Amino acid sequence: MKDRVNSSPLLAREGKVYIDGQEVADSCVFKVTFKPSLWSGRSLGKKGTSRRWTGYDIEVTIEQWKTNRFYRQKVDEYIKTGKTPELKIQGIQTDKNSDFYDLSGSEKVTCIGCVPTGDIDLISCDTEGDVVKESITLGAYDIV
């Protein structure tokens, strides 16, 4: 590790998001969450509860400034064809000035089989608003 006086935590702003290989240039928030499914139980004579993972769910959240009709196109395609949209989403976090980067390099997660699971706003108007931000939640089948 370098000789430095100040520690350098990982800066959340240093990242990129890609959907099906195309950069989401207007992204402002990206998060991938691993949610384990649990079994829990007790044994006679034991005071504590035993737990083990029995599976998992992966949730992807993307917020972006609305600059195109990407999600509307996915809705239109589904209505026309009845085929569920499935995406590959990748996030890369690179903060070369962080202690994390010194130890581990870039952090990369690729989410496979991403299907929108939350509401998709088709239009948003607001007299109190400024610019339109889209927020979408997806469920991923797997990560690599």
If you average pLDDT over every residue of the chain, what do you get?
93
In a domain, 94, yes or no: no
Find out whether 92 and 15 touch, Cβ atoms under 8 Å.
yes
For residue 88, is pLDDT > 70?
yes
In a domain, 50, yes or no: yes
For residue 2, is pLDDT > 80?
no
Give the pLDDT confidence of 41-62 residue by residue, as tens digits.
Answer: 999 999 999 999 999 999 999 9
Q: Look at the chain and report how many structural domains it folds into.
A: 1
- CA nearest 109: which of 32, 13, 35? 32
Instruction: Give the pTM.
Output: 0.86
Identify the domain containing residue 52 by its residue range: 27-88+114-143
In a domain, 71, yes or no: yes
Query: Measured between alpha carbons, how far is 38 from 106 in angstroms, rounded to an integer?
Result: 30
Structure tokens at 93: 């976090």
- Percentage of residues of the chain with pLDDT beyond 90: 82
Q: Is 76 helix (H, G, I), strand (E, B) or coil?
A: helix
Residue position matching structure tokens 């809705």 = 75
Residue position matching structure tokens 């370098």 = 2
Find out whether 94 and 15 touch, Cβ atoms under 8 Å.
yes
In a domain, 4, yes or no: no
Measure the N-to-C terminal CA separation of the chain; round to a whole number of Å.
Answer: 28
In a domain, 18, yes or no: no
- The whole-number pLDDT of residue 129 equals 83
Give the pLDDT confidence of 103-123 residue by residue, as tens digits.
Answer: 999 999 999 999 999 999 999
Query: Measured between alpha carbons, how far is 118 from 61 in angstroms, rounded to an integer?
Result: 10
